[in-house]
Structure 1
Amino acid sequence: MTHAPVTPVTLTLDRGLQILRAFHAARAPLNNGELAQRTGMSRSAVSRLTSTLIQLGYLRRVAGGSRFELASGVFGIGHAYLVSNPVTRLAHPLMQRLADRLDVSVALAAPNGLDMLYVAHRTSARIATLRLGVGSLLPMGLTAIGRAWLWGLPEPQRQHYVARLLEAAGPQREGLRSEIDSAFDDLRSNGVCMSFGQFQRDAYGIALPVRIGREAVLMSLSCGAIRFQRDIDAVRQRVVPALKQAALELETELRDVRHEP
C-alpha cells in the first residue's frame, strides 16, 4: 500500500497543531522559547507559526508581554465538536449527576499523544476544582485518568506507551516507573487507580478505563477535586463505588453510539 506524500501544507498544519497542543491543562500563557522547548521545534519556526496562528485567530498576545494564550478560534472548534459529537451530548447528564452527588469534577478523556484530552467534563458548583474543561490536556503518566487508560490497553500497546513515557521522563523515569506500577497494582486489585498531588498539589483523581460506543473505543473516566479531607481512604470509600456504577451506566448509555469520540 502506498501512502500520500507529506506536503509542505500538511507539515505546517501538523506543526501548528503541535503549538496549540503545547498549551496544556493549566492554560498558562507561553512565549516562543517555552513553546520551542515543549514542541522540539526551533525558536524561529515557532515564531513564524505563532504569528500565523495569531492572524488566524487561534492565538492572541497577552497584553504587555511576549507571551501567548489560546484565542476564541480554538474554542469555536471545540464548540462545533461538542455540538456534533453524540458522546458528549449523552455523557454530560450522567456525569453532572455524579459530580453533584459527590461534589467532584468528572471527566471523560481520550489519548492525545502522551497526554489525555478531556472530551467531556462536568463539575459540582459547590467545590474548588482545577481550572480544567473540555479540551484540557493532562500528562498521561502523572494522572489517574492517564494511567487508567494505559491499563485498559492490550499488553503490547501498554508496554509501548509506558516505554515512551519513561523515555520522555528523563531523570525522573525511575520514580515514574514506580508510580505507574503502583497504579497498575491498584487497578488489578480494585478496578481503579488514584493519584494525589502529582499533577497539582492538594488535588486528587480517581479513575478507571471505560469502553465507549459500538467500536468499544477505550477511554477513561475520573472523579477529582481539591482535597480538604485528611483521610484519603475515606475519599476512596465515598467515591469508588459511585464511580464504578457511573462507568457501567455510561457504557450502557453509549453502547449504540456510532461516532468515535
Structure 2
Amino acid sequence: MNDEIETPENSPKDRKFVEALGRGLEVLRAFTHGSVVRGNQDIARITGLPKATVSRLTYTLTQLGYLSYNQDLEKYQLDSGVLALGYAYVSNLRVRQLGKPFMDEFARRTNTTVGLTCRDRLSMIYVESCRPPEVASLRMEAGVRLPLTTTAAGRAYLAATPENERAHLLSQIARKVGDEWPALEASLNDSFREYEEFGFCLSLGEWDRNVNAAGVPLRLADGSIMALTCGAPSFQLPIEKLKDSLAHQLLMLARDIESLGV
C-alpha cells in the first residue's frame, strides 16, 4: 500500500487539479518505495494506476529526462532531471544554509548525528545531516526517509502540528497500519504528552532498537514546521543523558536557529 494522503488539493473533484500531471508525479514517487529500479508492473502495483497508463507515463518521463530505461533489466530508474529538482530545493533552503554551522557545532560538541528533516506524506526526509568526522555510525544522508510514527523527528513534527492537521495525518496512518494502530496510538499519545511537558520527543529503540534519539520541532518564519533531531547508537548515548541533557540542548539549538528568522 502506498502512503498517499488524500486532500482537497489533490481530489479528482477539484477542477484545478491536473490529473495527468498528478499521475506522472505518482510514478516518480514510486521510486521512493525501496528498490531503485522499477518495471511498469511494479509501478502499477505501487500506484494503483492501470499498466497501460503507467507505460505511457514512464515513456514520457524518460523522454523528459526524469527516468532512464535499463535495457538489460528492462526496468526504469530515476534520472538526472529529478536530481536537479531535488538539488535546487535543498541548496536554496535558507534554514539549511543558516542552520548548518549551528548543527555542525552541536554534533561536534555532543558527538551525535544531528539532522534537519521535513515531512513528505507519512515520512520525514533528511535535508541536512551533520556528524563529527570521527563518528562512523548512524550515517544519515540527505534524502533518507524516516517513518513518521516511530522516529523522534516524526513524533516532534506531529506533536507540533495543529490539531486538525494532526488528526488527518493520524487517520491516514491508522488506515495504513491496520491492527497495529492501537499500540502505535498509545505510543504516540505518550510522546505527545512528553512534548507538552518537556518540548521534545524521544525515540528509544522504537525506530531502530540500537538507536536513541531526540527530536524537536523547528518553526519557520512562513509558518511551516520542520524537525531537528540528534541521535547516536544506544551504547554511546544512554537514555538518561539524552533525556536529562542533550534533548534540552537540542531544544535550545532549535530556538537559536529560529531566532535567525529563517
TM-score, length basis structure 2: 0.79
1:152-174 Cα shifts (integer Å, max 9, x gaps):
12222222221221112122212
User: Given the superposition, is the C-alpha separation of residues 229 and 134 from structure 1 closer, same or farther in structure 2, using an over 3 Å criterion?
Assistant: closer
Q: Give 1:246 shift.
A: 0.5
| Structure 2 residue 10 is matched with structure 1 residue 18 | no
Task: State the alpha-carbon separation in 2 of the partners of residues 128 and 22 from structure 1.
Answer: 31
Q: Give 1:244 shift.
A: 1.3
User: Given the superposition, is the C-alpha separation of residues 44 and 132 from structure 1 closer, same or farther in structure 2, using an over 3 Å criterion?
Assistant: farther
1:5 counterpart (8, 15, 18)? 15
1:58 aligns with 66
1:106 aligns with 114
Q: Give 1:146 shift.
A: 1.2
Task: State the alpha-carbon separation in 1 of the partners of residues 254 and 76 from structure 2.
Answer: 37
Q: Give 1:243 shift.
A: 0.6
Answer whether contact 2:152 2:201 (CA < 8 A) is retained. yes
The count of residues paired between Structure 1 and Structure 2 equals 249
1:168 counterpart (176, 185, 190)? 176
Task: State the alpha-carbon separation in 2 of the partners of residues 236 and 29 from structure 1.
Answer: 37
Task: State the alpha-carbon separation in 2 of the partners of residues 62 and 234 from structure 1.
Answer: 49
1:16-40 Cα shifts (integer Å, max 9, x gaps):
322333444x864253455444433
What SS does the aligned partner of 2:149 have? helix
1:131-187 Cα shifts (integer Å, max 9, x gaps):
543333322223221111111122222222212211121222122212211211221
2:128 aligns with 120
User: Given the superposition, is the C-alpha separation of residues 6 and 84 from structure 1 closer, same or farther in structure 2, using an over 3 Å criterion?
Assistant: same
Answer whether contact 2:204 2:239 (CA < 8 A) is retained. no
1:245 aligns with 252
What SS does the aligned partner of 1:170 have? helix
What SS does the aligned partner of 1:247 have? helix
* 2:100 partner letter: H
2:210 counterpart (202, 205, 208)? 202
Task: State the alpha-carbon separation in 1 of the partners of residues 240 and 233 from structure 2.
Answer: 15
Answer whether contact 1:29 1:67 (CA < 8 A) is retained. no
Task: State the alpha-carbon separation in 2 of the partners of residues 133 and 224 from structure 1.
Answer: 14
Answer whether contact 2:212 2:237 (CA < 8 A) is retained. no
Answer whether contact 2:31 2:38 (CA < 8 A) is retained. no
Structure 1: give runs of 5+ residues left out of the alignment.
Answer: none
| Structure 2 residue 107 is matched with structure 1 residue 91 | no
Answer whether contact 1:27 1:69 (CA < 8 A) is retained. no
2:5 aligns with none
1:31 aligns with 38
1:224 counterpart (209, 216, 231)? 231
Task: State the alpha-carbon separation in 2 of the partners of residues 47 and 130 from structure 1.
Answer: 38
Q: Percent identity?
A: 32
Task: State the alpha-carbon separation in 1 of the partners of residues 139 and 176 from structure 2.
Answer: 25
Task: State the alpha-carbon separation in 1 of the partners of residues 234 and 62 from structure 2.
Answer: 38
User: Given the superposition, is the C-alpha separation of residues 72 and 249 from structure 1 closer, same or farther in structure 2, using an over 3 Å criterion?
Assistant: same
1:180-226 Cα shifts (integer Å, max 9, x gaps):
1121122122221122444445233310112112x332222111334
What SS does the aligned partner of 2:36 have? coil
TM-score, length basis structure 1: 0.79
User: Given the superposition, is the C-alpha separation of residues 96 and 45 from structure 1 closer, same or farther in structure 2, using an over 3 Å criterion?
Assistant: farther
1:200-259 Cα shifts (integer Å, max 9, x gaps):
45233310112112x332222111334333733334345213211111101101x2x4xx
Task: State the alpha-carbon separation in 2 of the partners of residues 204 and 34 from structure 1.
Answer: 35
* 2:238 partner letter: D
User: Given the superposition, is the C-alpha separation of residues 15 and 183 from structure 1 closer, same or farther in structure 2, using an over 3 Å criterion?
Assistant: same
RMSD value, Cα: 3.0
Task: State the alpha-carbon separation in 2 of the partners of residues 50 and 177 from structure 1.
Answer: 38
